[in-house]
Amino acid sequence: MSPGRPDDGTIRTALALAGRAPSVHNTQPWLWRLGPGSVHLVADEGRRLPATDPDGRDLLVSCGAALHHLRAAFAGLGWATRVHRLPNPADPTHLAAVEPHPAAATDEQIGLISAIGRRRTDRRGYSSWPVPVQYLDLFAERAAEEGVLAIPVTDGGHRQALTAAIDLAAVEQDRADGYGSELRLWTGRGRGAADGVPMSAAPAAAVAHGGVRMRDFSAGTLTPSPADAYEDDAGALLVLATSGDDALSRLRAGEAASAVLLAATAAGMATCPLSQPLEVPATRAAVRDRVLDGSAVPQLVLRVGWPHASAAPLPASPRRPVAELLTASPGAAP
């Protein structure tokens, strides 16, 4: 970076924190390029899941989450950012150019770095404590700052329509060519893997919490919390939605997902993104029409709630080393 820009150690720290972002099947479908005064986010199309994510929605949402994680990391390290999204029409894989400049970090921004390190995708049951309205309002506010709606599904009929869409999507994907083999390829990973869903993060059997079916991974070893047997799950469901369905809308939805997940983690909550009902055209349309009353385009569902007091901490899922993801753009320093 040029004078007045972050040094190499700061950049690599920020990129390592950005790499903690959630992504579909933990594919981490992003690359980074360094320019003279900027960091560039590039989609790694080789990591798109053709059977699970045929239109690339999950890939863009995942990259959006990494973009927000990068912004949050830089902010907590004392660098504000100016972001140019989709800056190169000739290259649709070039998703963002991020320009850092010095700015004092607030206590909240510093706290988000801790939340990045603590956030996990928790597919276990949550406690019977409901999520207070003020937190749902906070999540809506954080998403709105990213230009996205975060709509709590509190109406009984809407929730039933959403859980039905989740169930149907699972059935449809199980029938789809290549889906099962793709799922097995990216899940059930053991120690030493740098990507994919580890066995320790996937349920050992098909499960549903509060009527919400979890994706049925293979070879999982994640066991339920003891309290699941006697305590009802009161986790909340939020649909992240946008007015459009272009690449920018999907990227911004990923940024909003990161903002909500980090806010929930900072508050001590457990979280789990649910992309499955939006990966199948018919169930995505059902969520749009029956849950959102046709008023917006659903991009991702988030499950948020209080973890059981007896729930064991989840280990961090693996991440690709920064060195594997980083290249220099023309004109950048070595």
For residue 3, name the pLDDT band (cuts at 50, 70, 90): low
Calpha distance 190→200 (Å, rounded): 8
Q: Flag whether pLDDT at 206 surpasses 90.
A: no
What integer pLDDT is reported at residue 2 of this predicted model? Answer: 53
Tell me which H or E stretch contains 262: helix 247-266
- Angle ∠(228,234,235) on CA atoms, nearest 5: 100
Q: Which domains does the chain have, with CATH numbers?
A: 8-119+317-328 (3.40.109.10), 133-305 (3.40.109.10)
Q: Are 143 and 249 in contact (CB under 8 A)?
A: no
pTM of the model: 0.96
To the nearest 10 degrees (0 to 180), the angle between helices 179-186 and 156-175 is 100
Task: Check pLDDT > 70 for residue 331.
Answer: no
- Region 304-315: mean pLDDT is 93
Contacts of 99 (CB under 8 A, 6+ apart): 37, 38, 81, 82, 83, 84
Helix (H) or strand (E) holding 115: helix 107-118
Query: Widest CA span of the chain, in angstroms?
Result: 61
pLDDT digits (tens, 9 = 90+) for 121-151: 999 999 999 999 999 999 999 999 999 999 9
Strand, coil or helix: 330: coil
- Residue 217's pLDDT is what? 86
Confidence category of residue 228, pLDDT binned at 50, 70, 90: confident
